[in-house]
Structure 1
């Protein structure tokens, strides 16, 4: 920076202001400094800069989501990136894959790197292991799932309401034999969506049938196999509620292989790219990922800035997007 200042004929403080995009530098001086930066091939050393900051921030936040290859997690990460960029903050992101040990190890790594804050979509069911860091002042926001065992902010979707709407929609189109494909019921979101399914069935006076509740469906391939089994063992539902986006994709693939895609109604939970191009187009319960990311970012960066108000729990209602697959009437 001293070399840049000498080349541009300005003070070291002026170079610092330009490099850190601070106000108080005239346009002509900015141009001179920018030219000197380019001529000397200067690269800003963020770590060295952080060592000089009075607040000791690192300019990074950790974001741990379940599966960054899944369209929901990927879209959420992008939304958080947009918020972080306005705060001149970089994101360190990783997938948890519903593995508790992986979550704890990654949290330890991020804490060791002194991230300014943490966004967590937990695989664990109890989060007391974070209590020391939270008490020490690590801003932490839970997303998609609520915290248990610690006091922290969270932004979640009302999964019970969303699932009830999906199943009620199928019931309105004459269906009574409605299957549900869901992940491990011990996962908070999966358990809530199963509760919503059951609540809609009971509210409509439809007896619950264990054969129609297919759990531990982890992947699209699992969903496709489950669909094939439903129609080979005589269960034969007239409609299916797929309780996650990749399970809906596997469901659509399975029905197409059986030639049933225009006879069996389907509603999925979570939208995904090209869902509207399936035949028929997929009706889904959509989570507003943009709003979720914006709310998480707002809470996180307000805490980083020093907000010490009581923790907040933001719950967002999902919406039903009608496209065709959920409107196939019962035969």
Structure 2
């Protein structure tokens, strides 16, 4: 840093302000310092500077997602990152794989690196372990699912309402035998979506036929198997609702294999890449992971800026996208 200051003919404090993104330096001086740093191939030591800064900030936030490879999680991650980069903050992310212990290990790893905030898509059913981070002043925001045993900010989707909308759409087309494939019942959102399915049928005076319901379906391959079991039964459904994007992909694969993709309707919860390019295009109840991510990141930074308002749960509405598969009549 001394070499950069000497080359740019400015004080050490000026260099410090530029590399730390602090105010009080003219654009002309900032440009001169940046050019000197590039000439000297200077690499700023953020760990050391965070120890020296009066606020103790590391300029990082930790993000725990179910699976960063899932299209929903990756879009969520990108939205968080877009907000963070505007604040010159780095995002560290990891996948919990629906494992409570892995979630805790990731949080501990982020905390040991002194992240300024945490955004968590929870797998654990007891988040009281985060009280220590809360007491240390680390804001914690939950996304997609609410926390358990901890009062905290959360940004979630209208899961049950979205599935009820799918049921109403299919019933309006004339369907009465509607099958349902749901994710793990241990996941809060999966519970809410299944409840929305049951409520949606009952709103139309239709009793749930348990032979048309498959729960604890995890991943594409298991969804393929579960869908084929329903499709090859003695009284198959005329329509399917799937409670998660990977489950939808598996169900569509089964429909195509049985040559039923133009005969049995399909509505999936949560969009996925290329869903519009399939034949027929897949009708979905789309979440808005970008809005969820932006909202969550905004809350973290407001808390860091001193917002002490009561914790809130923010609900982001879903949207039905009609592409053809959900418009097939019985």
Once the two structures are TM-superposed, the CA of residue 38 in structure 1 deviates from its matched residue by: 2.1
Once the two structures are TM-superposed, the CA of residue 27 in structure 1 deviates from its matched residue by: 4.3
- Counting only pairs closer than 5 Å after superposition, residues 149-298 of structure 1 correspond to structure 2 as 149-298=149-298
Distance in 2 (CA, whole Å) between partners of 1:27 and 1:138 is 33
Which residue is equivalent to 1:47? Answer: 47
Once the two structures are TM-superposed, the CA of residue 28 in structure 1 deviates from its matched residue by: 4.1
Cα distance change, pair 79–27 in 1 and its aligned pair in 2 (3 A):
closer
Once the two structures are TM-superposed, the CA of residue 221 in structure 1 deviates from its matched residue by: 0.8
Once the two structures are overlaid, the 10-residue window that deviates more, 71-80 or 51-60, is 51-60
Distance in 1 (CA, whole Å) between partners of 2:31 and 2:201 is 67
Which residue is equivalent to 1:109? Answer: 109
Instruction: Supply the RMSD in Å over aligned alpha carbons.
Output: 1.3
Q: Is the contact made by 1:211 and 1:235 (CA closer than 8 Å) also made in structure 2?
A: no
Distance in 2 (CA, whole Å) between partners of 1:25 and 1:51 is 22
Which residue is equivalent to 2:69? Answer: 69
Once the two structures are TM-superposed, the CA of residue 92 in structure 1 deviates from its matched residue by: 1.0
Which residue is equivalent to 1:88? Answer: 88
Once the two structures are TM-superposed, the CA of residue 129 in structure 1 deviates from its matched residue by: 1.8
Q: Residue 11 in 1 paired to residue 19 in 2?
A: no
Distance in 2 (CA, whole Å) between partners of 1:112 and 1:6 is 35
Distance in 2 (CA, whole Å) between partners of 1:76 and 1:19 is 28
Distance in 2 (CA, whole Å) between partners of 1:136 and 1:45 is 24
Cα displacement string for residues 134-173 of structure 1 (whole angstroms, at most 9, x for unaligned residues): 2332200010111121111000011010010011111111
Distance in 2 (CA, whole Å) between partners of 1:241 and 1:28 is 59
Q: Is the contact made by 1:127 and 1:148 (CA closer than 8 Å) also made in structure 2?
A: yes
- TM-score for both structures, normalised by structure 1: 0.96
**Structure 2 unmatched ranges of 5 or more:** none
Distance in 1 (CA, whole Å) between partners of 2:289 and 2:133 is 28
Once the two structures are TM-superposed, the CA of residue 36 in structure 1 deviates from its matched residue by: 2.0
**Structure 1 unmatched ranges of 5 or more:** none
